[in-house]
Amino acid sequence: MPLIFLRHPEPVAHKGLCYGRTDLPLAPGFEVISKRISGMLPPIKKIVTSPLTRCRVPAQTIAMMREIPVENDNDLIEMDFGVWENTPWNDISRTELDAWADDFFNARPHQGESVAMLRNRVRSALSRLDEASTLWVSHAGVFRAVMAETSHPDPWNATIGFAEFHAFDLP
């Protein structure tokens, strides 16, 4: 089952800022980037997107250009970093970061969502995929969760740049 994963274009955010569910606007130039991506993508039948602006807006642009449907899915929203949202990573206490690193999958020192919770959401979204070639427009954390579900050897260190896409062939 084909799944194309597109990470959203770059948002307006300070470098080094912890953001997940924060609904950030897109940086200037995203329209040109979205149109260019649309021309590079393989054939797709539908788009499923995170409802956050940085995903939804480019998804709508691609859907319009391709004349295909687009739907929002809350399970594709980025991880909720709780009280860490909009805090520079350098300002988060070493104690809290160490607590997260000590139990990366289950710890929630930020009082937000654990990595295990994110992975469960993504697993749920994957279970709803049908045979149609689908484009997901989402976030780096969701990408890593998909990588984990596809048995990537080191999914939580996998990278995908802004406005980059990756093709999966799911069972």
- 105's CB contacts (< 8 A; 6+ apart) are 114, 115, 116, 119
Task: Provide the pLDDT for residue 14.
Answer: 85
List phi, psi (to 5°) of 2: -80, 135
Cα separation, 156 vs 24, in Å, equals: 23
DSSP H helical ranges for 41-112: 53-66, 94-102
Question: Over the stretch 149-166, which tens digit does the pLDDT of each residue have?
Answer: 998 889 999 999 999 999
Span 47-78, pLDDT tens digits: 999 999 999 999 999 999 999 999 999 999 99
The pLDDT tens digits for 7-47 are 999 999 889 999 999 999 999 999 999 999 999 999 999 99
Q: CA 139: distance to chain centroid?
A: 2
For residue 115, pLDDT over 90 is answered with yes
Q: Which residues pair with 137 in a beta bridge?
A: 6, 49
| Proportion of the chain above pLDDT 90, given as a percent | 92
Domain layout of the chain by residue ranges: 2-169
Residue with tokens 């289950």: 106
pLDDT at residue 37 in the model: 96
**What's residue 161's pLDDT?**
97
Q: Is the pLDDT of residue 171 over 90?
A: no
CATH of domain 2-169: 3.40.50.1240
What is the average pLDDT score of the chain?
96
The predicted pLDDT at position 131 comes to: 81
* Band of residue 141 on the pLDDT scale cut at 50, 70, 90: very high
